[in-house]
Amino acid sequence: MEIAYLLNSGFAVRLSRTLLVFDDYLDPAQAVERLLSGAERVYFFVSHAHFDHFDAHILDYAPSVTRYIMADEIRRTKRGKRFPAEKTVYLANYSHYEEESLRVDTFDSTDTGTSFLVEAEGRRIFHAGDFNWWHWKGDTEENNKLARNGFMKQMKKLDGLSADIAFFPVDGRLEEFADIGAKEFCARTEIKALVTMHSVGYPAWQPPSDFFAAGRTVPHWTPQEPGETRHWTDEGGFTR
């Protein structure tokens, strides 16, 4: 797999014949344009309608796109209504979609929209969207308790999930609580690698010594600049 960072939570994943693009609201390095070349099937995923996850410029790729796969909430937006019906699928949370060599399962978010588990060419990729443990310093104890309970409730649905790559927020705005959601997620799933997202403007994240369970290490990558790429193999992990 070749993985390119677009911006914020936007990533493109190129398999041998398939291109998967997640939450492309801005792509200043034009990474998607580069990875489109030679792709036989192209899928764009949109987790929710927030401006920093969804922009209608992805319509520009329509001639090359096999399917736009979007959270159901986008169906009701002005931007969503511009997308060609024959190429667009809207998915509710906890639903399943399948076509040819693609399988998609959706899960809930602790903000809005959905998260995706995508399987293509034998690879499994999880994109969290805005699913996270959103513990904000300065918020009320009651609100932070609700945030914790909401996150833990959704984690019960994700217990034991396996994936080659998981894209998950580590948001610097949460300060010392930035990675508590990612830590819980990694402890309760069987992912092979972690790519952190939603961290524009913050230093590259490094997991603290007690982040992973004892005896377990998960390769991780926190991209900093649009257009950064990594290649992933089970044997070599992340390589440039």
Query: What is the value of pTM for the model shown?
Result: 0.97
d(CA 3, CA 228): 8
Give which of 229, 224, 196, 226 is closest to 27, Cα–Cα: 226
Supply the pLDDT for residue 133.
98
Distance CA 8, CA 224 (A): 10
The residues near 110 (Cβ < 8 Å, ≥ 6 apart) are 130, 131, 132, 133, 134, 147, 150, 151, 154
What's the pLDDT at 182? 98
The whole-number pLDDT of residue 14 equals 98
Q: What is the pLDDT of residue 174?
A: 97
Report all structural domains of the chain as residue ranges with CATH numbers, in order of start: 2-235 (3.60.15.10)
Q: What's the pLDDT score for residue 214?
A: 87
Q: Are 48 and 73 a contacting pair, CB within 8 Å?
A: yes
Q: pLDDT tens, position by position, for the chain (240 residues)?
A: 999 999 999 999 999 999 999 999 999 999 999 999 999 999 999 999 999 999 999 999 999 999 999 999 999 999 999 999 999 999 999 999 999 899 999 999 999 999 999 999 999 999 999 999 999 999 999 999 999 999 999 999 999 999 999 999 999 999 999 999 999 999 999 999 999 999 999 999 999 999 998 888 899 999 999 999 999 999 999 999
Long-range contacts of 72-75 (CB under 8 A, 24+ apart): 72/114, 73/48, 73/49, 73/112, 73/113, 74/46, 74/48, 74/49
d(CA 150, CA 134): 10
